[in-house]
Amino acid sequence: MGAGKTTIGRLISQSMGKEFYDLDKVIEDNAGADIPWIFEREGEDGFRKRETQALASIAESDTGDCVLATGGGIVMREENRDILRENALVVYLYASVAQQLYRTSKSTHRPLLQTGDPRATLKKLFEVRDPLYREVATLVIETDSRHPRSVANKVLDAIKRHLKMEITVS
């Protein structure tokens, strides 16, 4: 959460000439409602089911060759991790808890942070999610104190290096 997935994803898709999808936006469009409303009505479990359906749909469709920004909790379901591992080059945009807190402090669109102690919530989420992201990540890129364009360039360079290595090994 707050790592810059949407902003950096858009920059990468523009540079690569690929379609860009924000999975949260896809979920909202499919539901005809925003994420806070989905959380309020269906709870986190209902949202996660919708998230898995949207991810599987994109992975199975013709739009599969795209840049996709997922929600921060996508890795919480094993099924999602399997879909990501099998269908994607996964870039984990690593952001420290302090950086996440700074970047999300003014947002009212993040249901999991509508608590009395967002820092404690982010810390707890990070402790659970970080190892799961590392489990599925093809590449890990640190985003702290970096401008989005700088992070996007770093991601693009890492992808190019990774693909060259993949071609050489094949």
Binding-site residue ranges for substrate = 24, 48, 72, 129
Positions at the binding site for ATP: 2-7, 110, 146
Confirm if 104 and 53 have CB atoms less than 8 A apart.
no
Residues in the chain, total = 170
Positions at the binding site for Mg(2+): 6
Q: What are phi and psi of 61, to 5 degrees?
A: -90, 175
**Helix pair angle (35-60, 78-87), 10° resolution:** 40
CB neighbour list of residue 85: distance below 8 Å, 6 or more residues apart: 136
Positions at the binding site: 2-7, 24, 48, 72, 110, 129, 146
